[in-house]
Structure 1
Amino acid sequence: MITATFHGQVIARSEQTVYLEGNHYFPAESIVPGALEASWVRTLCFWKGMARYHHVRAGGHRSPNAAWSYPRPTPLARMIKGHVAFAPGTGVIVSGQRP
């Protein structure tokens, strides 16, 4: 089980993450409702496509642009469609092991 916590509160938990480039991508349905807030920030990855960023909220705390997703990834990155990853150094702690 892989868990993402922010200020001691679980914001995502899944046994079905996709591990890619050092990050666990959580299925969108494993994210706690209300934990993510839309951001206007976008970045372009040459092989994954356009990333959309999200602010993380929990326990009265907020970390701007601490998560990202690829709503329409390239065919090479199709395995992360519908998944969310959390940036290191933003206060979000991702821990655990997959079975």
Structure 2
Amino acid sequence: MKATLGDTVIAEAPDEDIISIEGNSYFPPGSVNRDLFTESTTPYTCPWKGECQYFDVAADGQTVEDGAFAYPTPYPTAITRVGKDFSGYVAFWKGISVS
């Protein structure tokens, strides 16, 4: 599975390494090109997953504000609910293509 912005691959990992949560595909931290990310100041705390970190994603002359997000330290109950530790895994939205 991969995430792209324009022609640039932002993240790529085997399907078995992806964690699906609420319809979003979360990529392992090591599969993401962090050079394309800038931490966003957008605040959000999910009631069951915990504090979220958003990232602006820039590639191919485009910047997608808050196009990526992760839960650096999800609640222990969230890890139990998901069945896997998804700490630092990254999901995409807002114009980032995941296929």
**Which TM-score band applies after superposition, normalised by the shorter structure?**
0.7 to 0.9
- Alpha-carbon distance between aligned partners in 2 of 1:33 and 1:23, rounded to the nearest angstrom: 19
- SS of 2:65's partner is strand
- 1:76-95 deviation line (CA, Å, top 9, x unaligned): 233210201002xx220000
Gapped runs of 5+ residues in structure 2? 80-84
When the two structures are aligned, how many residues end up with a matched partner?
92
2:82 aligns to what? none
- Alpha-carbon distance between aligned partners in 2 of 1:17 and 1:23, rounded to the nearest angstrom: 10
| TM-score, reference length from structure 2 | 0.87
- 1:41-69 deviation line (CA, Å, top 9, x unaligned): 12011100010100011112100001111
CA RMSD across the alignment: 1.0
Give the alignment of 1:55-94 within 5 angstroms. 55-78=56-79, 79-87=85-93, 90-94=94-98
What amino acid is aligned across from residue 94 of structure 1 in structure 2?
A: V
Gapped runs of 5+ residues in structure 1? none
Instruction: Tell me how far 1:33 sits from its aligned partner.
Output: 3.6
Instruction: Tell me how far 1:5 sits from its aligned partner.
Output: 0.5
Q: Which structure shows the higher strand fraction?
A: 1
Q: Which structure shows the higher helix fraction?
A: 2
